[in-house]
Amino acid sequence: MGVPRRARPVFSRLAKAREMSMQIKGTAAVVFGGASGLGEATARRLAAEGAMVTVADQNADGAHRVAGEIGGLPQAVDVTDAPAVQRAVAAAADSAAAGLRICVCCAGVGWPAKLIGREGPTPAEHFEQVIAINLLGTINVLRLAAAAMVDNEPDAGGERGVVVNTASVAAFDGQIGQVAYAASKGGVAALTLPAARELAAKGVRVMTIAPGIFDTPMLAALSEQVRASLAASIPFPPRLAHPSEYADLVEHIVTNTMLNGEVIRLDGAIRMAPR
């Protein structure tokens, strides 16, 4: 039985949309913070889909380990060091004929500190360091990766690249002790739309994922009791999220060209309590 005539235009439009979507296979990608957790899962996913992945991380040994296992390129990078970020971006851009098309920034820290500690006001250096890594580091990655992408030849859909940044649910409901962290991740969320608007004319998309509670190395040090309590606080599914689920979303963002200028919460509907 053939396809009904009325259905043929629908199938034709779907095929056309797929043709105009960004392809992962054969492209160059760079993942900052790619040596562990969300970044490692993303680097592995993009490599499995056929990208040449540059694994950039401050942990040089971790970057070499992951890159070696996925056939990628390692780069030792502190995201607050602009020349180091530029070197990683340049290495990624040179790794595939199509140029750098995918950039994911998972680099960040979550050091807690109250405004006022037992010995008085928390030193300003703590807040400066968290914001420098999480926010200014993200801006470093975004501006340098985007600058490389705008020189690419546009694909069938007119796209030259996509940058995916990482915020946190703390950007929206930060807890006590997360002033610096929430401020930095709130900044990442806030820059998403203006960056996407600026780069739209050049065919570069900008998206941000705001993860909830993920089962990353940071949580591995907690007791099973604490981990179970955190899992139970998530409405559904009542479990810690898997890094592979972050990678799932990155893959979809890359291939769905209509996703642009938005912050997506990936959190099982959790809303964090004050403490």
- Active-site residue list: 181
d(CA 103, CA 51) in angstroms, rounded, equals 11
Q: Which residue in the block uniquely carries the two structure tokens 């050049």?
A: 202
**Residue 92 and residue 138: Cα distance in Å, rounded?**
17
Please provide residue 72's backbone torsions phi and psi, each rounded to the nearest 5 degrees: -105, -165
User: Could you tell me how far CA 222 lies from the centroid of its own chain?
Assistant: 24
- 43: which residues sit within 8 A by CB, 6+ positions away? 29, 31, 34, 53, 55, 66, 67, 70, 72
Question: Which residue in 44, 31, 22 sits closest to 243, CA to CA?
Answer: 44
Residue recorded with tokens 């591995």: 220
Strand partners, 30: 54, 103
Q: Which residue has the tokens 């190395």?
A: 217
C-beta separation of 211 from 267 below 8 A:
yes
- Other C-beta atoms lying within 10 Å of the C-beta of residue 57: 30
Tokens 């992945």 correspond to 53
